[in-house]
Amino acid sequence: MCLIVVGWRVHPEYPLVVAANRDEFHARPTAALARWPDAPEVIGGVDLEAGGTWLGMAESGRFAAVTNVREPGMAKGARSRGALTRGFLTGSTSALDFAATVEGAQYSGFNLLLGDGESLVYCSNRDGQPRALPPGVYGLSNHLLDSPWPKLVAARARFAEALPRLPDETAFFELLGDREIVPDENLPNTGVSIEWERLLSAIFVKSENYGTRASTLVWQGADGAVNAHEQSFGPDGRLLQSSVISTSV
């Protein structure tokens, strides 16, 4: 997952709202948003190569999402980062307690967001100790929480503007579908080639081999009901399918 924007206890009716794009090589096998056969209370996609997920929400109100940290040349961790989200979503430990048990050295660089209905926790093996977040709008890409990369700054602002319009999803998917490339003078320097910096600077990443595979909007109502809508994409940003799941309490 390469872009996540979260509204935590900002909307009066929807305490948790998440808009996210998952960027990945198109050749990596993936299952689209659905109830998990082995844990039907969990709603999310599945990385069929490693078995974890980039983002999911459970009917209990548990939420988890992960991004990698862009650090070219670093050795690969022994364990898949997607196991962190799966482990939390299928468990019952509080967000802070779960984060405290994470052995960061076992994984490549990651950012992890965990919600248990009572708190939203940020955990990273590149940014100190886990911490509960106060109400607000937060953004993650492939650095640290709220790093001021141009696409993340723009996404947070547009997300905040779209929040009052829920349950209308239009503005969120317009945001997630923005393919504008950032001018060279505004690009971050993350250690990859200038060609990759340009490609990855867009909110929606589009190329033949690598790009945005899924755009996901999930939110939970004050009554606990969960709404999830995901659009799946193939090479060059071709829309493949749309998945919608809503629960009632």
pLDDT tens, position by position, 132-154: 999 999 999 999 999 999 999 99
Amino acid making up residue 196? W
Q: Residue 194: left (phi > 0), alpha (psi -120 to 50), or beta?
A: alpha
CA atoms within 13 A on the CB side of 167: 10
For residue 39, give its domain range.
3-246
Q: Within the chain, which residues score under 70 in pLDDT? A: 1, 249
The whole model's pTM is what? 0.95
Task: Output the pLDDT for position 1.
Answer: 61
Nearest to 28 by CA among 46, 47, 44, 45: 47
Residues 135-158 as b/e (b if ≥16 CB within 10 A, e otherwise) read eebbbbbbbbbbbebbbbebbbeb
The enclosing domain of 158 has a CATH number of 3.60.60.10
- C-beta neighbour count of 11 within 10 angstroms: 16
Task: Output the pLDDT for position 26.
Answer: 97
Task: Output the pLDDT for position 10.
Answer: 97
Total tally of structural domains belonging to the chain: 1
SS3 99: helix
In Å, how far are 34, 52, 59 from 42, measured between CA atoms? 8, 12, 7
Q: Which helix (H) or strand (E) holds 198?
A: helix 194-200
Tell me how far apart the alpha carbons of residues 195 and 114 are, in angstroms, rounded to a whole number: 33
Task: Output the pLDDT for position 75.
Answer: 80
